[in-house]
Amino acid sequence: MIEDIKKDSSVQTVSILGCGWFGLAFAKKLIELNYIVKGSTTSKEKLEILQAENIQPFLVNFTAESIVADATFFEADALFICIPPKRNSTELLDYPNKINSILTAAKDKSKHVVLISSTSVYADGNKIVNENSETIPDTDSGKVVLAAEILFKELFPKDYTVIRFAGLIGPDRNPGRFFAGKTDIPNGLAPVNLIHQKDAVGVAVKLLENQAFGETYNACSPNHPAKMDFYVDAAKASGLAIPEFIAEKKNWKIVESLNVPEFLGYEFEVGI
């Protein structure tokens, strides 16, 4: 699909809807690279934090029915939608409608739109999956992010860009804490599908640099150690209580990417 999308002379202005754990790290990196960055938050207190990082701050609030924002926020060469679904059951179900209201606000204002999604759109079908694999999510969060992707495709059929992140780790998300001290943890031999924040940011930056819009990207480390090996090592490295896993392999998948190497040529920096 990339061949069908005419590249602009440059991508200079990037709007990031949702400057949370990933969005803020991404925004900071773009500032380092001399992009003009607009960042949104739902909290007035965070506006100063964004401004201190030379990010143009915008207060954006949205519900399933409407969005309250300065329209100039959406005027950008690229808009990244970086808001994961909330775990609260009611808000979880509202997620596709929230994405729909955001996409409607962005239409005809943002030259390109990139939706940050999740590899949870793939079921644990005991096989290797890539961007061409069928999406049959087996979790509630996976179902709503897939619904959001479908809405996106309907509204932007000619420029539909999605980054599906695997499990995110990095600063303030120390994997050693995930299972520390727990016992009888099932599925210890299942492979992990993870990506470090540094590589998550790196993939998104490379997308902009290559202007490789119009594709879906699985963003996942190419390393897939067994769950028990990875989390035991992570706990040891952090000096935490060692978790105990059941040495079994049930309900697993390995997430691979065809499009990251083909269209981005990105080389992962952090081993898993």
CATH number, domain of 163, equals 3.40.50.720
Kindly state whether residue 133 falls inside one of the protein's structural domains: yes
As a whole number of angstroms, the distance between CA 252 and CA 227 comes to 10
- pTM (2 d.p.): 0.93
Residue 188 lies inside a defined structural domain of this protein: no
The SS3 assignment for 129 reads strand
Residue 238 inside a domain? The answer is: no
How confident is the model at residue 159, as a pLDDT? 87
Residue 155 domain-assigned?
yes
Split into its structural domains, the chain has a count of 1
Residues 73 and 110 sit within 8 Å (Cβ to Cβ): no
pLDDT in tens, 85-140: 987 767 788 899 999 999 999 999 999 999 999 999 999 999 999 999 999 999 99
- Residues 200-238 pLDDT 10s: 999 999 999 999 999 999 999 999 999 999 999 999 999
For residue 111, the 8-state DSSP code is E
Q: Is the pLDDT of residue 7 over 60?
A: no
Residue 267 class from Cβ within 10 Å (0-12 exposed, 13-18 middle, 19+ buried)? exposed
For residue 189, tell me if it sits in a domain: no
Contact status, residue 120 vs residue 145, Cβ threshold 8 Å: yes
| Residue 30 domain boundaries | 10-170+194-224+253-264
User: Within a domain: residue 180?
Assistant: no
Mean of the per-residue pLDDT values of the chain: 93
